[in-house]
């Protein structure tokens, strides 16, 4: 008979470990079965049944009905089988009640080990199911330790891994720091569920804006695209489903409060917010903000856009190391070719100090190529224009006057 305290123990395990009662009963049944086998012949087939209500268990031997039993451990003669069940016939398998000997120390130890292992397996399965459902969400945790560059983060019932490839080069965490990250994937492994999080993926920016901007959370404003180079700059394209709501203004917030909160979470990473448009001409104008655009030619067949800018705006349009053009290309999914008006007309710059003609090609795959004038680049902290100039907004480091 089962110990009266076993019911209480099961209830405590069910509450503390969040393990289903059926799984607990299966663990007990398997443990009793392993212990009972110690009392029978090694070739005997033993099964244990546990009553879910009383937790009482019964032990059975499984035997096959034959004409004449040659192996008493696995076979049973037909006449003996029919004495137990009149409908038994040759080839049937019967459950024969058996009484195991008292469980010894080794059998009890075996049962204990089986139960512990089954509980661990059940708990790992629960953790896997819990976090598998949360893939694609932002999670909050605490940095536990750093191992070979990978950051181990405690996120509740599991430890997540922030690999080096998913870290922003701008950030530096130490044990005890609180951290927000995007849950990328959850996989099963022999050591339990493997949870991988990221601080470098574009979807983290989306999740942060959903947290800070109610209009994005309720669907009034949509984020149509995100292009990110983690640690440096991010461009996002936004669209409003309500004509009375300005999508850029909603994301920027009063005196930049909303976008500033996202920038601070990303350790100062610069964020450009542009107005999304289905028209590639208008969209490219917004995406290349703050540079002035003189002319735009669209090749829809090859998805290539030729942008002409004033000669003194060329380095601004291209950006530092081609970053502005590259992010704009990723955001639109088009190849962008930027040229100066001087180069197209074949003339010479008015001022001797102006940069030489240059050309920059940017493709959505992140590759960018620039011509001779590529050495003249916009500084990372160069002031950007007001969002009203080109339907977009950009935030650098906040100044005391903005606060």
| Domain residue extents for the chain | 5-130, 138-198, 201-279+391-403, 291-383
Q: What is the reported pTM?
A: 0.68
Phi, psi of 65 (to 5 degrees): -80, 125
Cα 318 to Cα 357: distance, rounded to the nearest angstrom: 12
Cα 202 to Cα 229: distance, rounded to the nearest angstrom: 8
The CATH number fitting domain 138-198, selected from 2.40.50.140, 2.60.40.10, 3.40.50.620, 2.20.25.90: 2.40.50.140
Q: Give the range among 32-36, 121-125, 377-381 with minimum mean pLDDT.
A: 377-381
Residue 233: the pLDDT is 92
Query: Which of helix, strand or coil describes residue 361?
Result: strand
Query: 201-279+391-403 and 291-383: same fold?
Result: yes
The answer to whether 237 and 287 have CB atoms below 8 angstroms apart is: yes
Cα 258 to Cα 249: distance, rounded to the nearest angstrom: 10
Identify which of 178, 182, 241, 243 has the alpha carbon closest to the alpha carbon of residue 208: 182
Q: How is the chain split among helix, strand and coil, in percent rounded to 5?
A: 35, 25, 35
Tens digits of per-residue pLDDT, 2-52?
A: 455 667 777 777 777 777 778 888 888 888 888 878 778 777 888 888 888
The CATH number fitting domain 291-383, selected from 3.40.50.1820, 3.40.50.1970, 3.30.300.20, 3.30.450.20: 3.30.300.20
Exposure of 248 in the CB half-sphere (CA atoms within 13 A): 21
With 50 as the cut, is the pLDDT of residue 282 above it?
A: yes
Which residues, in sequence order, are CB contacts of 322 under 8 Å at separation 6+? 360, 362, 368, 369, 370, 374
Q: Which two tokens stand for residue 85?
A: 């069940």
Q: How confident is the model at residue 356 (pLDDT cuts 50, 70, 90)?
A: very low
Cα 388 to Cα 275: distance, rounded to the nearest angstrom: 10
Q: DSSP E strands: which ranges in 88-220?
A: 93-98, 138-147, 150-154, 159-162, 178-187, 194-198
Tens digits of per-residue pLDDT, 302-311?
A: 899 999 999 8
The radius of gyration of the chain's CA atoms, rounded to the nearest angstrom, is: 34
Q: Which residues pair with 32 in a beta bridge?
A: none
Tens digits of per-residue pLDDT, 205-264?
A: 999 999 999 999 999 999 999 999 999 999 999 999 999 999 999 999 999 999 999 999
Phi, psi of 143 (to 5 degrees): -70, 125
Looking at the domain 5-130, which fold is it? N Utilization Substance Protein A; Chain:P; domain 4 (3.30.1480)
With 60 as the cut, is the pLDDT of residue 353 above it?
A: no
Average pLDDT over residues 380-399: 39
| DSSP letter for each residue of 174-188 | -TT-EEEEEEEEEE-
Cα 114 to Cα 27: distance, rounded to the nearest angstrom: 7
Which residues, in sequence order, are CB contacts of 294 under 8 Å at separation 6+? 308, 309, 310, 341
Residue 402: the pLDDT is 40
The answer to whether 232 and 261 have CB atoms below 8 angstroms apart is: no
Average pLDDT over residues 80-97: 82
Query: Which of helix, strand or coil describes residue 380?
Result: coil
Residue 348: the pLDDT is 52
Question: Average per-residue pLDDT in the chain?
Answer: 80
Q: Which two tokens stand for residue 335?
A: 């190849």
Cα 211 to Cα 266: distance, rounded to the nearest angstrom: 14
Cα 106 to Cα 109: distance, rounded to the nearest angstrom: 5
Phi, psi of 189 (to 5 degrees): -145, 160
Tens digits of per-residue pLDDT, 170-206?
A: 889 999 999 999 999 999 888 889 999 999 999 999 9
According to CATH, what is the number of the domain 201-279+391-403? Answer: 3.30.300.20
Cα 122 to Cα 384: distance, rounded to the nearest angstrom: 55
């Amino acid at each position: 008979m089962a110990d009266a305290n076993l019911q209480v123990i099961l209830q405590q395990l069910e509450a503390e470990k969040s393990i289903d009662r059926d799984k607990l009963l299966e663990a007990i049944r398997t443990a009793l079965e392993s212990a009972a086998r110690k009392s029978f012949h090694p070739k005997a087939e033993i099964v244990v049944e546990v009553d879910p209500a009383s937790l009482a268990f019964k032990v059975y031997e499984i035997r096959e009905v034959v004409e004449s039993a040659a192996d008493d451990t696995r076979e049973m003669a037909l006449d003996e089988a029919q004495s137990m069940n009149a409908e038994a016939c040759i080839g049937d398998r019967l459950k024969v009640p058996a009484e195991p000997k008292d469980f010894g120390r080794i059998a009890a130890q075996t049962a204990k080990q089986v139960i512990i292992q089954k509980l661990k397996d059940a708990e790992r399965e629960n953790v896997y199911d819990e976090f598998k459902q949360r893939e694609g969400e932002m999670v909050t945790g605490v940095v536990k330790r750093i191992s070979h560059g990978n950051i181990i983060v405690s996120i509740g019932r599991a430890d997540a891994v922030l690999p080096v490839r998913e870290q922003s080069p701008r950030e530096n965490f130490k044990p005890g720091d609180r951290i927000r990250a995007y849950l990328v994937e959850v996989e099963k492994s022999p050591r339990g569920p493997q949870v991988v999080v990221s601080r470098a993926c574009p979807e983290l920016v989306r999740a942060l804006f959903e947290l800070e901007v109610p209009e994005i959370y309720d669907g009034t404003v949509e984020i149509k695209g995100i292009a990110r180079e983690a640690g440096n700059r991010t461009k996002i394209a936004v669209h409003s489903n309500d004509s009375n709501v300005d999508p850029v203004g909603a994301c920027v917030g009063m005196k930049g409060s909303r976008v500033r909160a996202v920038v601070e979470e990303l350790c100062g990473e610069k964020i450009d917010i542009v107005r999304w448009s289905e028209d590639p001409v208008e969209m490219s104008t917004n995406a290349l903000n703050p540079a002035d655009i003189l002319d735009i030619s669209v090749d829809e067949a090859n998805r290539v856009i030729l942008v002409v800018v004033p000669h003194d705006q060329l380095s601004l349009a291209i950006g530092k190391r081609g970053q502005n053009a590259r992010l704009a290309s990723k955001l639109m999914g088009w190849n962008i070719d930027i040229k100066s008006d001087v180069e197209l007309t074949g003339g010479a710059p008015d001022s001797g100090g102006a940069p030489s003609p240059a050309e920059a090609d940017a493709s959505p795959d992140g590759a960018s190529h620039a011509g001779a004038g590529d050495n003249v680049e916009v500084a990372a902290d160069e002031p950007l224009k007001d969002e009203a100039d080109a339907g977009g907004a950009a935030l650098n480091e906040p100044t005391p006057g903005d606060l």
